[in-house]
């Protein structure tokens, strides 16, 4: 049952993650000199999305790796992915306020640029949290993969 919950958590995160990634990309393209930190955050979010999709593919119901994973571990992994979904949703909401529309007047675009500077620390805090989650998931996945390979030898 935890495998289904994991799959659902991954699908939900990837959906929200793509929307947040699109928002970060729009922000970077609208700001002539977007901060390197924001560009790096965009790349980290993409890597996190790739990682959870790999985890989903390798831990599906038909996978032999899944049979070796304790349910308690899957619950923790699901919890981390759900937390990533919440963080990505918050990031998306912030970015929706910052990205100017194509028809926005100049003053509104300027105002959004000012607000974006104010929100930069919030954006970076969320991205840092997502990066820590990515590291946790990556370490867990690597250790599980190594344990599986070791058992096969």
> What is the number of other CB atoms lying within 10 angstroms of the CB of residue 96?
12
pTM of the model: 0.78
Encoded tokens for 39? 């560009």
Task: Report whether 153 contacts 70 (CB < 8 A).
Answer: no
What is the per-residue pLDDT across 25-79, written as a single tens digit (0 to 9) for each? 776 666 555 567 777 778 888 999 999 999 888 877 666 666 778 888 888 999 9
Buried/exposed code over 19-42 (b: 16+ C-beta within 10 A; e: otherwise)? bbbebbbebbeebeebbeebeebb
* 18 — pLDDT class (breaks 50, 70, 90): confident
Give the pLDDT mean for 4-32: 80
Residue 117 pLDDT exceeds 70? no
- Tell me how far apart the alpha carbons of residues 30 and 34 are, in angstroms, rounded to a whole number: 8
- Per-residue pLDDT, averaged over 82-94, amounts to 91
Residues in Cβ contact with 140 at an 8 Å cutoff, skipping those fewer than 6 apart: 73, 76, 77
């Amino acid at each position: 049952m935890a495998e289904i919950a994991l799959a659902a958590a991954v699908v939900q995160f990837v959906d929200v993650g793509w929307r947040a990634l699109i928002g970060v990309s729009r922000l970077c393209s609208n700001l002539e000199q977007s901060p390197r930190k924001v560009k790096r955050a965009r790349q980290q979010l993409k890597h996190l999305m790739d990682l959870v999709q790999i985890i989903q593919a390798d831990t599906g119901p038909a996978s032999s790796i899944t049979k070796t994973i304790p349910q308690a571990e899957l619950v923790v992994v699901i919890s981390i992915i759900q937390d990533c979904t919440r963080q990505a949703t918050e990031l998306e909401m912030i970015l929706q306020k910052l990205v100017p529309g194509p028809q926005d007047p100049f003053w509104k675009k300027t105002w959004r640029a000012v607000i974006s500077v104010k929100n930069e620390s919030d954006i970076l805090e969320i991205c840092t949290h997502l990066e820590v989650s990515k590291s946790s998931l990556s370490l867990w996945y690597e250790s599980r993969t190594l344990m599986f390979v070791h058992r096969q030898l």
